[in-house]
Each structure stands twice: as C-alpha cells, then as structure tokens.
Amino acid sequence: MTAESFTLDQAKATHPEHTPSGRRFADLPVHLTLLVIGLAIATPIIIAFFISFTPLRELVSRANPTLLPDTWTFAGYEKAWNATPFGRFILNSFIQTGIITAAQVLFSILAGYAFAMFEFRFKNALFAILIGSLIVPFELTFIPNFLLISDLGWANTYAGLTVPFLASAFGVFMMRQFFMSIPRDLYDAAKIDGASDWRYLWTVMAPLSKGAISAFTIFAFLSAWNQYLWPLIITNEENMRTAQIGIRFFLVNQERATDWGAIMAGAVIVMIPTLIVFIVAQKQLVKGIAASGLKG
C-alpha cells in the first residue's frame, strides 16, 4: 500500500462490525463512547482555552477549580503578549519551520530521484550510509553540533536553528520508494523525446507524486515546528526563541505566583498555528503519519 493510495477516510467495509445499511440506533453506544473518549483527549486543550480567560485572583482564591471563569478577561493575553514577544516567537518558528521543510522536501526529491532513476558508482554504499543515519539518535549528535554551530558563530541565528536539519534521510527514502513505483516506461519515453532528467523530474515525476510530497511536507513541517531540545540550547537571545521555547521560558520564569491565565494564553497563542494546520490539512497529515507506519 502506498502513501498515495491510502486514506483513512475510506471508512469502507473494513471493520468487524461492518453493516451495510440501517441500524443507526444500534450505533448509539459507539457514538457515546467515542464522544466521551474524544472529549477526554481534548480536555487539556479545552481547559487551557477557558483558563486563558480567567483572572489570576479568581484562580488562586476559589475553593475548587472551575472550567468557566466568573469574569472573562483578556488580561492573560495582554500580559503574555506584552511580557514576552510571542509574535516574534511565532514568526521565528515559521521561518525556522519554513526553511527546514522547504529544504527537506527539495533535497529529498533530488536525492530520492537519484536513487530511484540513476545507476552510479557506490550506489549501494551510499544508500546504506543514508539508511544508517536513520538509526543515529539525535542525542548522540547534538553536543558536537552545538559546539560546531557555536564555533561558526551561528548560535542565535536562523542558520543555527535550521542548517543541521536541512536534509531528511526518511524523506529521501520515502521519495525514492514513491518514484520507483512510477512506471519506467514514462521515463524512457521522455528520454526519447529529449527531455533532460531535470525537466522530467519537475514536469512529470513531481506532479505525479503530489500526494506523497504533500504528505511528507506536512510531516516535516510538524516535526520542525515541534522541535524542542535543539532550539532550547542553540538560542539564548529572546528575539531568536521559537514558540516552543518561548512558552517554556514564560512558564519557568514567573517571578511571583504563577499566573496560569497568562500562561495558558501563551499556550493558546502557540497552539493556534498548529491547530489551524491540523484542521485545514488533517487528511494530508494523517496520510503522512500513516505512511510512516505503513512503510511506503
């Protein structure tokens, strides 16, 4: 099964309880169970949303936590937005994520194409090197990378945030798999018509692979957006922090009683872009993740 052909929304006849029609009433327990589970899972996010509108005094003074504030306030958002440059953090995150995603997609297409279409020396060795890098955990490389980036003077720059992640062995692999599934006749025909590899890649292969490419794009976007350890160590200027690191500093550096309203406001601000991506591109996202599980 390829990433392309797979979609979770084909809720087709693949369930033990598959019933072709009718029996809507019998579905009720399933509806209820799913609703309860769904709400339970979404609860932390829902709570964050309501707490972000609750004044601090109300939070610490009321006997029991309640979901809805007695008085709704935007003070948390004001405080979060003014005390910490969340706007800048989100911009940084977008720049960082944009560069990483664009480069990973582009480079993966190029390298995937080479592995799928060309015969060249040391191909097997290079492929092994590529695949080998997949099992090297980030924890092994981040200290030397930190020192290297620091020596280059790239700490606190977008270069420092992005350059180590511009390539993705997983992406190369995914692209190669997909390109190999495209009939080679097309390639031979294009060659006879005198098309160069470069043209063939961008005018035939890439459009044919839109599904796989967009699935990988979203996958890459999310991994980059959610990066934590690397931005934490490589940025120390407030202006260069990403959204994830921004929320951490905002939380840890509460000077007096923790203002949960403001912190949840910050969390909501940071969550919104990904929630939008999630809602808009849910299908692509799910496809990309499922593809990583279904192995091409």
Site for another protein in 203-242 (CB under 8 A): 222, 225-226, 228-229, 232-233, 236-240
Whole-angstrom distance, CA of residue 208 vs CA of residue 211: 8
Does 10 bind another protein (CB under 8 A)? Our answer is yes
Q: Which of residues 272-291 bind another protein (CB under 8 A)?
A: 274-275, 277-279, 282, 285-286, 289-290
Q: Which stretch binds another protein (CB under 8 A): 69-77, 183-191, 209-217, 248-256?
A: 248-256
Identity of the residue, 58 or 208, whose beta carbon is nearer to another protein in the bound complex = 58
Residue from 12, 192, 194, 207 binding another protein (CB under 8 A): 12
Q: Which stretch binds another protein (CB under 8 A): 70-78, 111-119, 183-191, 208-216?
A: 111-119
Does 50 bind another protein (CB under 8 A)? Our answer is no
Residue from 127, 182, 204, 206 binding another protein (CB under 8 A): 127
Does 77 bind another protein (CB under 8 A)? Our answer is no
Q: CA distances (Å), 240 to each of 164, 190, 227, in order?
A: 17, 47, 14
Does 91 bind another protein (CB under 8 A)? Our answer is no
Does 183 bind another protein (CB under 8 A)? Our answer is no
Residue from 118, 125, 192, 207 binding another protein (CB under 8 A): 118
Q: What is the DSSP letter of 239?
A: G
Q: How many CB atoms lie under 10 A from the CB of residue 159?
A: 14
Q: CA distances (Å), 214 to each of 20, 219, 286, 295, in order?
A: 33, 8, 11, 16
Q: Which of residues 22-41 bind another protein (CB under 8 A)?
A: 24, 27, 30-31, 33-35, 37-39, 41
CA 88, 93, 96, 101 dihedral sign is negative
Identity of the residue, 39 or 189, whose beta carbon is nearer to another protein in the bound complex = 39
Residue from 1, 186, 189, 280 binding another protein (CB under 8 A): 1
Whole-angstrom distance, CA of residue 150 vs CA of residue 152: 5
- Burial of residue 154 (number of CB atoms within 10 Å: 0-12, 13-18, 19+): middle
Residue from 157, 182, 204, 208 binding another protein (CB under 8 A): 157
Does 158 bind another protein (CB under 8 A)? Our answer is yes
| Angle, helix 169-180 to helix 86-117, in steps of 10 degrees | 40
Structural Rg of the chain based on CA atoms: 24
Does 68 bind another protein (CB under 8 A)? Our answer is no
Contacts 24+ apart (CB under 8 A), 60-67: 60/257
Q: Quick one: which H or E segment has residue 146?
A: helix 138-151
Q: Which of residues 159-178 bind another protein (CB under 8 A)?
A: 159, 162-170, 172-174, 177
Q: With beta carbons less than 8 A apart as the criterion, state whether 100 and 165 touch.
A: yes
